[in-house]
Amino acid sequence: MLVTTLLDHRQVSKDDLSALYARRWNVELDLRNIKTTTGMDVLSCQTPQMNEKQLWVHLLAYNVIRLLMAQAACNAGVDPRELSFKHTVQLWTQWVSRGLSAAKDCGRLFTLIAQCRVGNRPARIEPRMRKRRPKPYPWLKIPRAQARRKIELHGHAWETK
């Protein structure tokens, strides 16, 4: 069963809805790329305003990578979804760290980006489960310096008894 807000069955066919539902996999991949591949799974700032800035910077970086992928796909004559996001991030990081210019050497960069393709996996189904188990340590709910002083005075929780 698929629930939708589209009420007029004459405007949208079942096949259209089915195709739209199948595209959800790309949305899930995009969200994973934004969070995990770009390193935004844990925001490191301490104020809401700085976390918001950090979020915008990650979204800007995501869009830059997607732009590089689109340009590389256009040059190679392929669909941008066929190119690897992670490969592009790694390639761009190395490219910039070596002082190479995307403006001067864009042809070489686009060729390298287009070399790594991802497989076509229609109707892909993945379980919504976590692979890694959580660590057995409690959350750090006080400032780190205060926690260190507490350990110096009383030792670790598992050492005291």
Given a cut of 90, whether residue 33 has pLDDT beyond it is: no
**pLDDT number for residue 69:** 93
Say whether pLDDT at 160 is over 60.
Answer: no
- Of 108-112, 123-127, 135-139, least confident by mean pLDDT is 123-127
Rounded Cα distance between 51 and 140, Å, is: 19
pLDDT score recorded for residue 110: 92
The closest alpha carbon to 62, from 92, 82, 42, belongs to: 92
The secondary structure element, H or E, covering residue 63 is helix 48-76
d(CA 44, CA 54): 8
Lowest mean pLDDT among 64-73, 120-129, 136-145: 120-129
Identify the burial level of 122 via C-beta atoms within 10 angstroms of its C-beta, where 0-12 means exposed, 13-18 middle and 19 or more buried.
exposed
**What mean pLDDT do residues 17-27 have?**
80
- pLDDT for the residue numbered 159: 54
Determine the pLDDT at residue 88: 93
Q: Above pLDDT 90, what percent of the chain?
A: 27
Phi/psi for 71 (5° steps) reads -65, -40
Mean pLDDT of 109-135: 77
